[in-house]
Structure formats: structure tokens, C-alpha cells
Chains A and B, each alone.
Chain A
């Protein structure tokens, strides 16, 4: 079974600075997807960024980028130029690919609460 571990329950960052959230996972599969989701106080789950395991290039979405280390099974999220609106809980998630049975099944980490200080 897959597991996802977020070792930082809470993180804080000064506005305009950079912060990195950690995520490690355990799997025996070679093909899968990894995601970071943001959950602000409204509780809405918002997709931040996605990485396909077969792609070596790290995904980037504006101020958000990932450091995907497949061999180390690590998938960290870097937020640059942090803004007050980035304050939220961030979840790392693993999803099996279409080639596997139970393809849609997702596994989430416990989340990291990010505080942005003005």
C-alpha cells in the first residue's frame, strides 16, 4: 500500500520570502502521479501543482514549483515570493496511474499548515 508522509505539521514564512514544504512517499509502482493541494480556511480543496512520475522535469506553476526526486521518493513544494493568500493547509497526494488496478485511488498526507507573516 502507498503511504504519504508530510513531516512538518506547521510551517511559517515571512511575506515575500520562500518556503519549502516536504513530502515523502512510499510505493512499489513506477508509474503514478503526485499532487499538492491547498486548503484555505474556506475548506475548498484547490489543486496547486501536479507531477507525472515519468517526467524528469520538475513541474512549475507561477510561484509554485516542486523538487521531485523519484529515487528518493521525495516531492517537495517550493513557494516563492510568499503572499498572505498562500496561508492554508497544504496536502501532498499520491495517485495511482491508469495502468494500475484501482487507478483512481488517492492517498493523502496529513497536511502542513502554512502561516504567512506580514
Chain B
């Protein structure tokens, strides 16, 4: 158990819908990272937040957005969902970008778009 929690574990929804994935980092970790793992795209970095602010951006679609709240939990919002958005979405956390780069991954949320 990495200490990172993600809810829900599984999510099934229809095309065009909007969903919110939630992540709680390890106690004391200030950075949260979101990743998408799909069969055709592999594992891709989406976005990083550090202490509430966006720190780094990867291949995140405009239909996707994220935020980190004052209590440091993070949410990834996916809207206008398409079949190709079906994937395993991971959240990871680390103590901070300047202190350590060791990231601890959550168990993931499996999103199925039908």
C-alpha cells in the first residue's frame, strides 16, 4: 500500500458525459501527478500540481482539467467523454519537486466509456 488513495476504483459511463476522479496523496506529500494508461497510448503523464499550483503539463487534452485543493487532494475532471478516453488513470504523489522525485502511485481508477 503506497498511501495514495484514489476513488472510485471503477467507473462506467457513456460518451458525452463528464466524470470526476479523486486522489488523496500520501500524508505530507505536496505534489500530485496524474497519468493515463491506455492500450494504444501506453502510460502518459497528464499534469502535476504542487501545493495547489500547476507545476508541469503533459499530454492533457483540453477536455480534461485538474485542480489541487487546499487540503492537497486533487481531482481530475474529464468531460465530453469519448470511447478513446477509456483507460486506467493513475494518481501519484511525492514530497515535492525540489526535495525528492520519488513518486508513489495510487491503485488507479479504471474508466470505461461505452
Quick one: which of A1-50 are within 8 Å of B by CB? 33, 37, 42-47, 50
Task: Report chain B residues within 8 Å CB of A45.
Answer: 90, 92, 105, 108
Closest A residue to B94 by beta carbon equals: A104
Task: Report chain B residues within 8 Å CB of A103.
Answer: 55-56, 97
Residues B2 and A44 in contact, CB atoms below 8 Å apart:
yes
Residues B107 and A43 in contact, CB atoms below 8 Å apart:
yes
Which of B17-25, B38-46, B61-69, B70-78 forms part of the interface with chain A? B38-46
Cβ distance A68 to chain B, nearest Cβ, rounded Å: 16
How many residues of chain B have a CB within 8 Å of chain A?
A: 26
Closest A residue to B57 by beta carbon equals: A102
**Partner of A47 from B57, B88, B103 at Cβ < 8 Å:** B103
Interface string of A54-76 (1 = CB under 8 A from B): 00000000000000000000000
Q: State in angstroms the CA–CA spacing of A10 and B57 once bound together.
A: 31
Quick one: which of B67-114 are within 8 Å of A by CB? 88, 90, 92, 97-98, 101-105, 107-108
Cβ distance A96 to chain B, nearest Cβ, rounded Å: 8
Cβ distance A52 to chain B, nearest Cβ, rounded Å: 9
Task: Report chain A residues within 8 Å CB of B31.
Answer: 104
The residue in B31, B50, B92, B101 that gathers the most chain A C-beta atoms within 10 A of its C-beta is B101
Cβ distance B75 to chain A, nearest Cβ, rounded Å: 18
How many residues of chain A have a CB within 8 Å of chain B?
A: 23
**Partner of B97 from A37, A44, A98, A110 at Cβ < 8 Å:** A98
Task: Report chain A residues within 8 Å CB of B48.
Answer: 104-105
Q: State in angstroms the CA–CA spacing of A108 and B88 once bound together.
A: 15
Residues A111 and B42 in contact, CB atoms below 8 Å apart:
yes
Cβ distance B94 to chain A, nearest Cβ, rounded Å: 8
Q: List 18 A-B contacts (CB under 8 A).
A: A33-B101, A44-B105, A45-B90, A47-B103, A47-B104, A50-B102, A91-B43, A102-B57, A103-B55, A103-B56, A103-B97, A104-B45, A105-B48, A105-B57, A106-B35, A106-B58, A108-B44, A111-B42
